Amino acid sequence: HDTIFQPDLSRTQADVFKDPMKKERITWMLRYGFLNFIEYFAVQKKLQIVISSDGRKRRLTRIAQRFGIYDKLKAIYGAEHIDKWDYLKRLDKILDQCQVEARDAVFIGDSQVDQFSAEKYGVAFIQVPNTVSERAFSFNSFLEIEFGSGDYGLELIDLHGIKQVSHNLATPQLVEEIIRRNEGVMAHLGPVVINKVEFESAADIGVYLVREPSSENDIHWSDVVSPVEIEGYHRIFDSLKDFLKDQSVYIQDCYAGSEASCRIPLRIITQDAWPNLFARHMFRHVSSEEMESFFPEYTLIHVPEFKASAGGDENISDNMILINLLKKLILIVGANSSNAIRKAVFFTLSFILPKNDMIPVRCSAIKGDDGSLSVFFGRDQALKNSLCLNTNYAFFGDDCHGWTQNDFTNMEWGCRTLVDGLDEIMDPRIYSATRKFATILENAGIDEKRHIIFERKNPKYHSVASFPIAHLQHADRSGVSAFPKHVFIIVKDSMGVLPAMGKLTREQAAIFLLLGYESKWDLSQAEEFPTISYLPYYTSDLAFYRESFYAGLLYEKLERAQSQCWILNAIPVGPNKNNTAVVNLTLLRRFVSAIQSDKAHQFKWHMDSYWKYQSVCGFAGYPEAMLNPEIAWEGDRDRFVVVNQMLKDSFSNRLSKYENDLSPAIKSALNWFED
């Protein structure tokens, strides 16, 4: 059984800091590709597959049932078939009961015992790497499927009757398809402006998971992650397959992730050409040499014209992401925006990565000349990208990363950023990238001479640009880095009471990220105070986890890396009086540059008397009233005290819901700001 199962290295809520490899804790997951192996050889080729193990048959049966492979196996043999004299496996018993000659069988194993057992009974033997030496090994290597020709492997996911398949088209070919199909128009200098005017925000796209035995106990079911029963999934998928018959599709084979040992082979099938180009921008390409042995571990199918309600499920959103973790199949239906593809992939990775002792991280990142990495957390993706792309440092990653026990890796190979009102002076690198060939622009305008107008064509949705990392002049394309040296948390505090910049302990940083705090004025109505909101870790795409549990995982990584943690307030400090305060990008960039260059001595520091962390109260060229809220509020001291206490009370109330589930180190620092 060690040949087909590997230890699940993810931790549980109860033991965040304990060793997942301790014998009494080990749980199992299928090795990569084994579901495909079973489907191909047992179902399509009609071969008999038997598990020969020295484990307990009842336990092995339970595991096989959990992963949905039990009914496809001929038999399971446990410890009862081990020879008591030489401890080899009695393959002769298996051959006899299956009525198969030794010459017509093959034994796949990972140990010397397996090899000696095969030799003793004259059975051909194939050795595979064991789970300790090679976790990345995949059973897909046994499959005789030409993914670059024929039916392109679509039969393996039971997809039949496709009229035409366009496989791994290059960027110029996809641009030609977009123009030919009238999906978009080419603008001045070569970017592509998509014609559609109806897109979706992240909140408009429902995320559903198929409830099945292999994963249901690992999922934190919530308003963000809703279950779909297996029967409902089959109804939707069967209707989708019927919908796709006699239609054309585009296939892009790629990798999610940069590091070879943990990247996920991914196949993206799209109904339209422009989402296929987006996939080509965002994920690592498969080279011609790699394509010879490429086998997708996960398949994503994007069909915006199909409605889930057509499958008879009226309670499911028509704009939806439906993930079947057992089948390793992701369906996106109804949703037009490119964000649906990235959200679906990262949502799925958020479940996969911890199984290999890696945690998913939503942040932007830059790398200094000395190789040191700085990462940026915050709700405003455009602001994070603006800080990362307009510095003297190499751009490392846009938004989706993985943090392993040994390094920090980029899961994407491109950039997707908001470009509402994009300014050439303030954001020169992003502006330059939007003027290059094949950059995708969603919901942007275009004039009669095909020049881009960075205004929303449909006012309900943002204008968005997507482009490959190659469009950036200064980018680190290794995809792998040492642990982050600096962690920046960007908050928008319209309450006006948080300092412009502060230095946090790692415990405080974990708590701020757990909160995901932001406040802003609602300009549609007269308010006495801004509206306070919380979005843990500034994303809903980590909803597989209990929020407090992820805080422990993230704190563990920060502590091991000994990262220095900083908080940046993007809103000018002081009383804003219900107006739209403008983000001071120049000041934020100077803060980041000084920290990244190890020049924190340029700042004058003091302990903020209200928030109890070191904050900047002096910086050359800036008056103290721009940095220190206590000075900024000098004219209204009483209101300053009231607003501070209001925000503290809000923090305390929010954190109280997590108090019983946090790791000891974070729990001890939970109310550091209280008097």
Three-class secondary structure of residue 273 per DSSP = helix
- Please tell us whether the domain made up of 154-187+202-351 is placed in CATH 3.90.1150.10: no
Going from the C-alpha of 382 to that of each of 376, 424, 427, 636, the distances in angstroms are: 12, 14, 10, 33
Interval 360-390: pLDDT, tens: 999 999 998 888 999 999 998 888 988 888 7
Q: Give the whole-angstrom CA distance, residue 300 versus residue 313.
A: 21
Q: Is the pLDDT of residue 19 over 70?
A: no
Amino acid at 419: V
Taking 80 as the threshold, does the pLDDT of residue 526 lie above it? no
Q: Which of 174-188, 258-272, 609-623, 646-660 has the lowest mean pLDDT?
A: 258-272
Residue 554 has pLDDT above 90, yes or no: yes
Least confident of 19-23, 207-211, 339-343: 19-23
> Domain 483-668 belongs to what topology?
Phosphoenolpyruvate Carboxykinase; domain 3 (3.90.228)
Question: Helix, strand, or coil here: 168?
Answer: coil
Task: Say if residues 308 and 318 touch (Cβ distance below 8 Å).
Answer: yes
Average of pLDDT values for 220-228?
Answer: 86
- Domain 5-142: assigned CATH number: 3.40.50.1000
Give the residue among 474, 488, 491, 282 at the shortest CA–CA distance from 367: 474
User: Among the listed ranges 87-96, 411-420, 545-554, which one has the minimum average pLDDT value?
Assistant: 545-554
Residue 208 binned pLDDT confidence (cut-offs 50, 70, 90) = very high
Helices (H), 285-423: 288-291, 339-352, 381-389
Q: For residue 262, give the DSSP letter.
A: T
pLDDT over threshold 90, residue 560:
yes
- Please indicate whether residue 604 or residue 5 has the higher confidence score (pLDDT): 604
Give, in degrees to the nearest 5, the angle at Cα 639 between 633 and 641: 85
Q: What is the DSSP letter of 41?
A: I
Arithmetic mean of pLDDT over the chain: 89
Per-residue pLDDT at 398 exceeds 60: yes
pLDDT of res. 106? 96
pLDDT reading at 121 higher than 90: yes
pLDDT at residue 40, rounded to an integer: 85
Residue 577 has pLDDT above 80, yes or no: no
- Report the pLDDT value the prediction gives residue 609, as an integer from 0 to 100: 92
Strands 414-418, 464-468: pairing is: antiparallel
Global confidence as pTM: 0.88
- 17 pLDDT exceeds 50? no
Residue 125 has pLDDT above 60, yes or no: yes
- State the pLDDT at residue 153: 79
The H-or-E segment that residue 513 falls in is helix 506-515
Query: What's the confidence (pLDDT) of residue 21?
Result: 46
Average pLDDT over residues 122-150: 80
| pLDDT classification of 542: cutoffs 50, 70, 90 | confident
**Confidence check: pLDDT of 597 > 90:** no
* Residue 106 backbone dihedrals phi, psi, to 5 degrees: -140, 140
Asked if pLDDT for residue 166 goes beyond 80, the answer is: yes
In whole angstroms, what is the distance from residue 114 CA to residue 602 CA?
Answer: 65
Is the pLDDT confidence value at 102 over 50? yes
- For the record, the structure tokens of 369 come out as 């000349």
409: its two tokens:
């890796």
Point out the least confidently predicted range of 32-36, 48-52, 78-82.
Answer: 32-36
Within this chain, domains 5-142 and 483-668 share the same CATH topology: no
Asked which of 16-20, 131-135, 284-288, 570-574 is least confident by mean pLDDT, the reply is: 16-20
- Which pLDDT score is estimated for 405? 86
Q: pLDDT tens for residues 267-322?
A: 999 999 999 999 999 999 998 888 887 888 899 999 999 988 765 565 778 889 99
pLDDT value for 311: 54
Maximum average pLDDT range among 12-26, 239-253, 657-671: 239-253
Kind of pairing, strands 192-194 and 440-442?
parallel
Q: Domain spans of the chain?
A: 5-142, 154-187+202-351, 483-668
- Residue 540 pLDDT class (50, 70, 90 cuts): confident
Q: Which of 106-115, 406-415, 514-523, 572-581 has the lowest mean pLDDT?
A: 572-581
pLDDT band at 20, cuts 50/70/90?
very low
What pLDDT, on a 0 to 100 scale, did the predictor assign at position 18?
A: 52
**pLDDT > 90 in the chain, percent:** 58
Task: Decide if 363 contacts 383 (C-beta within 8 A).
Answer: no
